Structure 1
Amino acid sequence: MRNVHEMSEYTIGEAAEILGVTPRTLRHWETKGLLVPGWRTTSDYRLYTEDDLQTGFAIVVYKSAGLPLADIASLLEESSAKSRIDRLKRQREVLSAQLDTVHTMITHLDEIIAQQREQEITMEEIKKVFGDDMPGYQEEAEQRWGHTKEWAQSQEVQKGMTLEDWQRVKAEQDDFVAALASASDNGVKPGSAEAEELVARHRAQIGQWYDVSTAKQVLIARMYVADPRWEETYKGHAPYLLELIEEHARREGLDLEHIEWG
């Protein structure tokens, strides 16, 4: 770009760059009669003079103060400094009122945030739903998986949960365990429609915390079998659940001998 001090006429692109606006904005100002370039080339290209740029800078300043284009047009036409000052004082009053409104809104938001924090679920309340061992399970889980994206996802979900949400999770878990036990007692075969429904329910329970694939579901079910605490959670039916899930995975074409988390 040419040096500003070496020229007195500027193309629309150069004028826009100097003023910190876009050529489209300059064209819009022209249609509103705010800034009409002083010259045109023989090819009808706009050329802006130093006086045009001074007007442009004034428009930029007025817009930054929140003045609408109609008021800016009136200001530019004002020949009296007192009239311009009076108009700008009125705009200052408008901005002050808007600032007061913003401060009020921020105060209300702070109050809402404080109320929400008061409603956050505590570990003591979670213990009432899942039992006294819950804090220990939570700590162990963080030690084992705290570095994973799944852990991060689950923690984000928990932040927005209420006591009612935790109670719902517990009720759904209890209902699932009862359905699993019933299916086992009634000899529901892996791969059957009823078995597939149980697999889908189990996957949905995990999926409410983090993204889960069939491979992940298999590995989680295998963990249930390996950990006596999960065996207790599933009332001794963890191996049966694993059978159902592995048959589902087999039908999806997974190699059960080479399952990887993912």
Structure 2
Amino acid sequence: MDEHTTELTVGAAAKLLDVSIRTLHHWDAIGLASPSERTWAGYRIYTAADMQRLRRVLIFRELGLPLAEIGRILDDPGVDLATELAEQRASLRTRIDQLQRVVSAVERMMETTTMGKKLTAAEQAEILGPNWNPAWEAEAQQRWGQTDEWAQSEAIKQTMTTADWQRVKDDTEAFEAELAAAFTRGVEPGSQEANMLAERHRASIGQWFDMTIEKQVCISRLYLSDPRFAAHYDERADGLAAWLVEVIAAGALARGVDPETAEWQ
């Protein structure tokens, strides 16, 4: 049996898609994906078109989109599904690249027998540029040195080579330039493009420690409360820091997180 079979009961569809019957019932109840026909005996069945929609729901769910957002994408005639999938593919590739970097870091940790390879302050300044201030790391350690996130970050840094640090710098420069370009073009917070940038921002921080949407929102608050962060972004484009905070807040809201009440978790 495959998805082109004309009469798929709820149970058969659930087995084919490897989801629970309860899941299909829930999607039916909220109007996300419903069987559109019935057998002569009154059993509801999924058509080939219904199964195609279910496949799309599963793809978008695996990408982390809320069910309400998935329904909007599939039902809005103004949404170009091919474009939406291309954007989600780009976001997914970013996440894959991030995970590959983490895997590489873990492999280096497994291979090495000597730890403590962290770059010296002079080496960091040479790679990160003249704007890098070693005192910032001391300040960060004082504030967050007892947290799990700090321990994760330090474990990764201890395995990084000079080339790794150069890659981080290059990736950061490229992404921040892209943020400035989007801001200058007038990209609206909450738009698809802005939400994708918010996800990439979260992934960029997530290369150092486990990053939730709530943590991302908390970090973004520093972009306005700490003048050093504001100056860093506004140097690229005046107002960029405030815009980025709005982009992150709107992206969080789209994923079901209230940015006003978000806490570090």
TM range (shorter): 0.5 to 0.7
Residue matched to 1:123? 121
For residues 155 and 143 of structure 2, what CA distance do their matches in structure 1 show? Answer: 18
219, 242, 263: which is aligned to 1:260?
Answer: 263
For residues 224 and 129 of structure 1, what CA distance do their matches in structure 2 show? Answer: 24
| CA deviation string 1:134-163 (max 9, x = no partner) | 310100000000011000100001000011
| CA deviation string 1:83-136 (max 9, x = no partner) | xxxxxxxxxxxxxxxxxxxxxxxxxxxxx857x87x753221111122454310
Residue matched to 1:192? 191
Match status 1:203 vs 2:202: yes
Correspondence list, 1:163-174, <5 A: 163-174=162-173
Secondary structure at the aligned position of 2:251 is classed as helix
Correspondence list, 1:86-235, <5 A: 121-131=119-129, 133-234=132-233, 235=235
For residues 261 and 227 of structure 2, what CA distance do their matches in structure 1 show? Answer: 24
Which ranges of structure 1 fall in alignment gaps of 5 or more residues? Answer: 1-111
Amino acid at match of 1:162: T
The answer on whether the counterparts of 1:126 and 1:134 sit within 8 Å (CA) in structure 2 is no
Report which structure shows greater RCO (CA 8 Å, sep ≥6): 2
Match status 1:243 vs 2:246: yes
For residues 164 and 151 of structure 2, what CA distance do their matches in structure 1 show? Answer: 19
For residues 133 and 161 of structure 2, what CA distance do their matches in structure 1 show? Answer: 16
For residues 171 and 225 of structure 1, what CA distance do their matches in structure 2 show? Answer: 24
TM-superposed CA distance for 1:190, in Å, is: 1.2
Distance 1:174 1:155, change over 3 A: same
For residues 162 and 254 of structure 1, what CA distance do their matches in structure 2 show? Answer: 36
Amino acid at match of 2:119: I
Runs of 4+ in 1 over 4 A off after TM superposition: none
For residues 230 and 205 of structure 2, what CA distance do their matches in structure 1 show? Answer: 17
Specify the structure having the higher radius of gyration (Cα). Answer: 1
TM-superposed CA distance for 1:220, in Å, is: 0.6
TM-superposed CA distance for 1:192, in Å, is: 1.7
Identity %: 44
For residues 121 and 256 of structure 1, what CA distance do their matches in structure 2 show? Answer: 36
For residues 255 and 245 of structure 1, what CA distance do their matches in structure 2 show? Answer: 11
Question: Aligned pairs, how many?
Answer: 149
Residue matched to 2:9? none
Secondary structure at the aligned position of 1:257 is classed as coil
TM-score when normalising by structure 2: 0.52
Secondary structure at the aligned position of 2:221 is classed as helix
Amino acid at match of 2:157: Q
More helix per residue? 1
* Root-mean-square deviation over aligned CA pairs: 2.0
Secondary structure at the aligned position of 2:167 is classed as helix
Which ranges of structure 2 fall in alignment gaps of 5 or more residues? Answer: 1-111
Moved more, 208-217 or 250-259: 250-259
Residue matched to 1:91? none
The answer on whether the counterparts of 2:118 and 2:157 sit within 8 Å (CA) in structure 1 is no
